[in-house]
Amino acid sequence: MRLPTTTVLSLSGFAALTLAGCSNSSTPADASAPSASVHAHQGSKNTTSPAPLTSATLSKRLLNDSDLGEGYTPKAPAPAQHDDVTVLGCPALEKLGGDAAAGGSLNFPRQAKASFAYAGGSDSEVSEELYSDTAQKLSQGIAKIYDALTSCPKYQVVSGSAPVEVTTQKVPTAQLGDERWSQLLTFTVGGRSSIVKQTAVRTGTIVVLVSGSPALVDAHVEKALDKARADR
């Protein structure tokens, strides 16, 4: 069953994953992560940090299929579809407007993205996004989006004639990087649901965002962080 490629989160890789498809059950076949999540907006902010990385440098630090292991296939990014999107039942998200309400990228010019399908389970995908800017800009920008998302435990996204019910749950995350955010989202349409986990970690002037099937996110977020800050 296909869902519209759109969501209220201002992270394009996440939008592609979350609304690409629904499984016939409430959890993906490979989901072994906890069923509740916490937005862990914790940790200290750097007072001094290196200069932001370029998009070209970030692209070299993305995970690839050899990093992930057997069973992963690279996927082409889904085209952005930002037209005719309405958010209902969440004033904080409605106020963000623009790309934030239509699944566009975060407003950081230095970025790189990759997506993968996994053969180990139906509708199992994982996506990574890297962003770089000053530590303050990264911290403020991502916290704003996550705070808006987790302010509403339930809301609806309407794109054209296809309403999607969205529920959000904060989840705890491992003590990685300088700041971290994590949540579990359930998307329901036509009586069928799909669960997606999203974890973002800021380390200095880099943000690592991993989204997709909960078990895959848990399996690869630390690996993605290690590669992103290699040779920093």
Contact 87, 93 (CB under 8 A): yes
pLDDT of res. 175: 92
Q: What is the mean pLDDT of the chain?
A: 75
Which residues neighbour 14 within 8 Å (Cβ) at sequence distance 6 or greater? 7, 103, 127, 129, 196, 198, 209, 211
Contact 130, 206 (CB under 8 A): yes
Which residues, listed in sequence order, are joined to residue 210 by a DSSP beta bridge?
Answer: 128, 199
pLDDT of res. 55: 96
- Average pLDDT for 101-115: 72
- Average pLDDT for 151-163: 81
- Residue 78: pLDDT band (50, 70, 90) is low
- Residue 124: pLDDT band (50, 70, 90) is confident
Q: What is the percent of the chain with per-residue pLDDT over 90, rounded to a whole number?
A: 39
- Residue 35: pLDDT band (50, 70, 90) is very low
- Average pLDDT for 3-8: 32
pLDDT of res. 84: 63
Give the H/E segment covering residue 92. Answer: helix 91-96
Domain 12-228 has CATH 2.20.28.10: no
Q: Taking 50 as the threshold, does the pLDDT of residue 121 lie above it?
A: yes
Query: Which amino acid appears at position 98 of this protein?
Result: G
Q: Taking 70 as the threshold, does the pLDDT of residue 49 lie above it?
A: no
Nearest-CA neighbor of 178 among 148, 202, 208?
202
Q: Output the pTM of the full model.
A: 0.77
- Average pLDDT for 80-87: 64
- Average pLDDT for 114-122: 83
* Angle formed at CA 217 by CA 2 and CA 204, multiple of 5 degrees: 125
Q: Which segment of 45-49, 161-165, 198-202 scores lowest on mean pLDDT?
A: 45-49
pLDDT of res. 122: 58
